[in-house]
Structure 1
Amino acid sequence: MAIVTTSTTRTQADAAPTPRKRSKLAPRAYYWFVWPAVLAFAAFHTLPVLIGVFYSFTNYAGYGNWDFVGFANYANIFRDDRILQAYGFSFLFAIVATILTNAFSLAIALGLNAKIRARNFWRGVYFVPYILAVLVVGYVFQFLFSNSLPKILSGIPLFADNILTNPDWAWTAVVVLAVWQACAFSIIIYLAGLQTIPGDIYEAASIDGAGPARQFRSITFPLISAFFTINVVLSLKGFLQVFDPIIALTNGGPGTSTESVTMLIFRGGFSGGEFAYQTANAVLFFIVITIVSLLQFRVLQRREADF
């Protein structure tokens, strides 16, 4: 009887339909959506980049004939005082602006995350600068620095005259504009991070006697360290490529005191007859930004692991 039962069970198992294995490949419809985007990206981004890298090894002026010059353009960059000054200004500007942006953004985000009246309204107010056109805001700030502040702060020697005409301090005006606008995006990221922290942790810390400063140092900042990493990397990368605020406020002046790398590439490459030379500068600048971003990720993510 057992033999019959076993045979019957085995026959039923063999007759049962085997479940169909799910295909690991996505449906064809997905590829019809993906491939146009890939082709467009390759045509309008990857291909121009490769062409630019090719021309960086030539003496092409943007028109006419050209010849290969090898690595001469790259070698000349390290002997060009104007380019070295532009790199120095870009890094000084980016470091100062990154520090100020993240300090102000985190402080404002902590305030907006607290239980205050009209919290959602203030969140919207602080995000407004991010959606405004940089050039329009820049011209408003230009009027402020060149006309309003000299009258309001006439007793302060630094602001008695137009600060935008001061070669030693004009860069600070660019920092003010860039930080004011960049804080909006950083605040949103910090708010997203703060909202992931359970309130029970703060209640337990309060019961243990931890004050606001200790809670921030031991709870808040460690738990939003990943968001801090994102903000710092994006801020430094964006500020290194500063262009619009300088165009609106100083146009690189006085002289070349506020001339960034991106502005120098634009001026020399498109109107200065240095297309190949500035293309080589752009390739080098891309490598520099990539290395800086990777170093930031490595250092800051190691910091996250320590927490």
Structure 2
Amino acid sequence: MATPVLTRPRPERTPRGSRPSTVRRRVGATPRPFYWMVVPAVAVFALLHTVPVLIGVFFSFTNYAGFGSWDFVGFGNFLALFQDDRVLKAYGFTFGFAIVATILTNVISLAIAVGLNAKIAFQSAFRGIFFIPYVLAILVVGYVFQYFFANSLPRILSNVPVFRDNILTNPDWAWTAIVALAVWQACAFAIILYLAGLQTIPQELYEASAIDGATPRRQFRSITFPMISAFFTINMVLSLKGFLQTFDHIVALTAGGPGTSTESITLLIFRGGFQGGEFAYQSANAVLFVVVIMLVSFLQFRILQRKEADF
């Protein structure tokens, strides 16, 4: 019996002058549309962000007033910052305000998120209501709060000595109004992040702990908070970074007053750099402030992530 001969099928030939129906793409090759979308975005970002930052860093080593000629002064602007009482006072106010607002924001937001995550009616409606402050223009809302603190609150709490007069004109208490406005707005975004973290916790853990007799407080301490510690870290870092850069809240409520009692670093940089002929000096202040924010955020991450590992 003859052995059959196996033949390999011949590939179909493509007529001359025509391309194959399919084009083999190299493994790992990036498609051209990717470059057409990414390159313009990177160019716009560099033009509107990176280039101005580099220009600001350059002028921080000069005595440029925002107009006219200039000369290099080296680190003279940076050294002068540490001897400027107004700058030091602005840093003190900014950090004090940011720490208080960060603590209040996270305590209030976590409490509201835990309450919303419970089995209550109209959960979706409440989530939408609590997120409204984040989408509103803070300057517009700030002027509403200004009217409230200047007119409505003195009439409502006329028997309380602190609130009998306009609190915004009190150099010792004006900062509390700014904290109230900032926390009211910041809680909206923090609540959403905490709710996202609470959704990742399996309900079986709560059911098992309830069988063992754990109280709601013990469940929060042993289950809820350890499971959302990563979200707590993100909220703390974002909150402190955002409050350190506060600007609109102060402009809308006090404009830095009375005097300079509520003047933040960002407001001082804006006033001195664009209105006071201190462009180079405040550019150095801005560079220093960026470094400070980066160091604070890095330390926060290191400390809070160690706490996560302990859980």
| Superposed pair shares fold, TM > 0.5 | yes
The answer to whether 1:44 aligns with 2:54 is no
Please report the TM-score for the alignment, with normalisation by the length of structure 2: 0.92
- The partner residue of 1:230 within 195, 217, 234 is 234
Q: Which residue of 1 aligns with 2:17?
A: none
Letter of the aligned partner of 1:248 in structure 2? A
Q: Which residue of 2 aligns with 1:172?
A: 176
1:233 and 1:22 map into 2 onto residues whose CA distance is: 42
Matches within 5 A, 1:248-267: 248-267=252-271
The answer to whether 1:54 aligns with 2:44 is no
Q: Which residue of 2 aligns with 1:15?
A: none
Matches within 5 A, 1:223-302: 223-302=227-306
1:269 Cα shift?
0.1
1:138-197 deviation digits (Å, cap 9, x = unpaired) = 001000000001111000000001000000010000000000010000000000000010
1:302 Cα shift?
1.1
2:257 partner SS: coil
- The partner residue of 1:30 within 34, 48, 51 is 34
Matches within 5 A, 1:2-13: none
2:106 partner SS: helix
Q: Which residue of 2 aligns with 1:203?
A: 207
2:29 and 2:299 map into 1 onto residues whose CA distance is: 36
Q: Percent identity?
A: 72
- Segments of structure 1 that go 5 or more residues without pairing to the other structure are 13-19
| Count of aligned pairs | 294
1:21 Cα shift?
9.2
Letter of the aligned partner of 1:229 in structure 2? T
Q: Which residue of 1 aligns with 2:16?
A: none
1:178 partner SS: helix
Ranges of 4+ aligned residues in structure 1 off by more than 2 Å: none
1:38-59 deviation digits (Å, cap 9, x = unpaired) = 1111111111100100000000
The answer to whether 1:115 aligns with 2:115 is no
Q: Which residue of 2 aligns with 1:16?
A: none
1:22 Cα shift?
5.7
Q: Which residue of 1 aligns with 2:310?
A: 306
1:210 partner SS: coil
1:159 partner SS: coil
Q: Which residue of 2 aligns with 1:86?
A: 90
- Segments of structure 2 that go 5 or more residues without pairing to the other structure are 9-23
1:305 Cα shift?
1.2
Q: Which residue of 2 aligns with 1:187?
A: 191
2:49 and 2:154 map into 1 onto residues whose CA distance is: 45
1:24 Cα shift?
2.1
